[in-house]
Amino acid sequence: MQRVILIIDDNDINRLNLRLLLKDAYTIVEAGDLEQADHMLTEHRVDLIVLDLALPPEPDNPEIGMRYLEQFGSEGIDIPVVVITGHDERKLATRAQKAGALDFFAKPFDPDEVRNTIDEAMHARQQQLREQEMERLLKHRVGQDLLGDSQAMHALRDMIEQVATAPSTVLVHGETGCGKELVARQLHAFSTRSDGPFIAINCAVTEAGLLESELFGHEKGAFSGAVKRHLGWFERASGGTLFLDEVAGLPASVQGKLLRVLESGEFSRLGSESVLNSDVRLICSTREPLAKLVEEGSFRDDLYYRINVVNITIPPLREHAEDIPLLAAHFLERKALLCNKTLNNFSPSAMQQLTAYSWPGNVRELENVIERAVVLAATPVIEAIPSLEGPRLRQEREDLIASWLERLPEDGVNAEALLEKMEHRLVQTALLRSGQIKARAGRWLGFGERAKDKMRYLCDKHDIHPGGDET
């Protein structure tokens, strides 16, 4: 579909000449005054405006067109404008550009100048639209992948957008299953390197003897089995982002070489003395507290300071449990589509199961649980969540209770006082894990629809005064 140009000029001959010049490449609509121009803007999707500054009711006064141009900016009308000026109105043209005009050309028209000016302005407009669409898609993608209306998730998304365009090394901290690689991918998507590669390597599962070769590459014959040159991840990720997942798993020998890259931007393949330069933005992640590993001597302090330039902490799911219904609905829709099933919703009891559970495996565990529920569902509504804890977690919990019971004194206990104390501690723990919000704490304790009232009663009973909201 041809792009549309609106020509606003009270001179019929000027409009005719411009139409003849441009009609082969563009669809032309015309207006002889500002009233007609407003009508055309409502009737057509205009891609560019050619505006003569001298218009009725004062055709000798360029201020009429200038005010119209300035009105576009003040009203947020996002249509590029090319102005028409006289040869002796260079200052006026400069003023028009400051007011928002993309370009200008002078009367009498030079056909080549007009075509070049319009083509360049239209090209600039299309580039602007592409960039806006890319930004919209990136924002949509972040919103889809990092779902959640909680304050914690809003803060996380804001942090990603703020940090992404910086060249700094980022350390992402979070529990297993909370989405550390997803955050790294979003940092890459929003960065100036988004057209480059994104490469992820898990340092914890890669064999220590191979990790150095995987990162920096090797030459043929560098070690037994090196039958040809191998390019490492630092070379393959050139111009993009390298994500080192579970960086705490780096062996000491590799830590030193990684520090060299970060300090000098230089590295060498194994078996080579040639120095290569790194053009990589490094993002690292860990589920372990690296500061503690530094104190213990298993992680270099100088490397820790180099990779911890910017720190992003992902909250565990239990700390933003209000997002569970939204996440569950998202996974239900996606998994049902993959399994070719028509599933509409969760029953209240099933949703209560989801919101009451503590999710030690975080969002990844939630996704897997929903997939299992979808596979096993026999009705359009998920009525129950099967095997939520799984046999391993249930066994661990039973073993913990058994161990505690074995340590009780031989001469007996005051059961009433002991149960009161346990209840008190359970209420405190639930509030701690739910941000001091009574309703959420009650759901964590499995009270379902009675959550808020039950928690209010227990808090009064044990003289506990949480600082959070009750909702």
Provide, rounded to the nearest whole percent, the portion of the chain with pLDDT above 70.
90
Q: Which residue has tokens 């701690």?
A: 432
336 shares its domain with 300: no
248 shares its domain with 214: yes
As a whole number of angstroms, the distance between CA 143 and CA 110 comes to 49
Asked whether 267 and 276 are in contact (CB, 8 A), the reply is yes
pLDDT, residue 88, reads 60
pLDDT, residue 434, reads 74
Q: Is 456 within the bounds of a domain?
A: no
pLDDT tens readout for residues 181-207: 999 999 998 898 988 889 888 887 777
Residue 313: pLDDT over 90 = yes
25 shares its domain with 93: yes
Q: Is 449 within the bounds of a domain?
A: no
As a whole number of angstroms, the distance between CA 367 and CA 363 comes to 6
| Among 48, 35, 57, 116, CA closest to 77 | 48
Neighbours of 425 (CB within 10 A): 11
CATH of the domain at 378: 1.10.8.60
pLDDT, residue 170, reads 96
CATH of the domain at 77: 3.40.50.2300
97 shares its domain with 127: yes
Whole-Å CA distances, 193 to 128, 213, 285, 312, 362: 19, 24, 19, 19, 30
Residues of the domain holding 50: 4-131
pLDDT, residue 140, reads 47
Residue 426: pLDDT over 50 = yes
Mean pLDDT of 365-394: 80
Chain mean pLDDT for the chain = 84
215 shares its domain with 272: yes
Mean pLDDT of 458-467: 84
Q: Is 397 within the bounds of a domain?
A: no
Instruction: Report the number of distinct structural domains present in the chain.
Output: 3
Mean pLDDT of 344-360: 87
151 shares its domain with 198: yes
Residue 249: pLDDT over 70 = yes
Mean pLDDT of 350-364: 88
Mean pLDDT of 150-165: 91
pLDDT, residue 142, reads 46
256 shares its domain with 292: yes
150 shares its domain with 45: no
Q: Is 255 within the bounds of a domain?
A: yes
Asked whether 236 and 267 are in contact (CB, 8 A), the reply is no
Q: pLDDT-derived band of residue 89, with 50, 70 and 90 as boundaries?
A: low
Q: Is 342 within the bounds of a domain?
A: yes
321 shares its domain with 364: yes
267 bridge partner residues: 276
Q: Which residue has tokens 């062996």?
A: 251
304 shares its domain with 322: no
Task: Kindly report the pTM of this predicted structure.
Answer: 0.55
104 shares its domain with 50: yes
Neighbours of 91 (CB within 10 A): 9
